[in-house]
Amino acid sequence: MAALIDVRDIVFSYGSSTILNNVSMEAPDGQFVAVIGPSGCGKSTLLRIIAGLIKPNSGVVLYSGKEVTAPIRDMSFVFQDFALLPWLTNRENVELGLYNFDLTDDEKEAKANEMLGRMGLGGFEESYPNALSGGMKQRVGIARAIISSPRVLLMDEPFSSLDALTAESLRSEVMEMLLNKDISVNCIVMITHNVEEAVEMADRIVVLSDKPSVVKGVKEVTLKRPRNTHSRDFVRVMDEVYGMLTRKAGTA
């Protein structure tokens, strides 16, 4: 399967500290890729490099064979902390995903209202983010990211700010939308530190070491969807990923 996103030998340093050390990975077209590793290992930094938001010291990110040097329209970003503008209504926040699109204000409003309805937020279009729960805020963030029908969806620990039950519910909703083709993206790259979340959602899991981060291994997840998180096969895959996380880099 061809790589839609090809990350090659990325090095990123902050001052004298090396965060990412020759990190290479691929995100094939049609796959959900999770990147997992210890806190502070540079996972979010890697995602921002993929998005073209920050530049590495060396190495390259290719999207459809072309180097990514700045943000591109084909990629959308879901932030861990929601990143909603509090002075805009929920609808107006979602409309930001259509910035620079050749649409009238009425067309943008209609699309945003439709997307909020699909995310279960009908009736909250003219409310402000401070009136929403954490789960509802992240629904707005996801709506903003997917309203432009991006080819690639980049998600930076999108469920980590939510309580366990809300996170589980929203994960299930996102997966249902993906399986039903309600979210029309070709590829997803998600940052997480949650092994169960990675195994539940991803086709491929890229495991990073502690910083200076290297890729410790890649696990292909072939379990049938929707996945039973209590099945023996699911637990077995989780154990394998835990083993990759806890194994020292460079050891078999």
pLDDT tens, the chain, 252 aa long: 678 999 999 999 988 899 999 999 999 999 999 999 999 899 999 999 999 999 999 999 999 999 999 999 899 999 988 899 999 999 999 999 998 889 999 999 999 999 999 889 999 999 999 999 999 999 999 999 999 999 999 999 998 888 888 888 888 888 888 877 777 788 999 999 999 999 999 999 999 999 999 999 999 999 999 899 999 999 999 999 999 999 876 555
- Domain 84-149+162-185 in CATH: superfamily? P-loop containing nucleotide triphosphate hydrolases (3.40.50.300)
Strands (E), 72-120: 75-78
Does residue 52 come out as left (phi exceeding 0), alpha (psi in the -120 to 50 range) or beta? left
Residue 120: partners with Cβ closer than 8 Å, 6 or more residues away: 139, 173
pLDDT at 100: 83
Query: Is residue 96 within 8 Å of residue 144, measured between CB atoms?
Result: yes
Spell out the domain ranges in the chain: 84-149+162-185
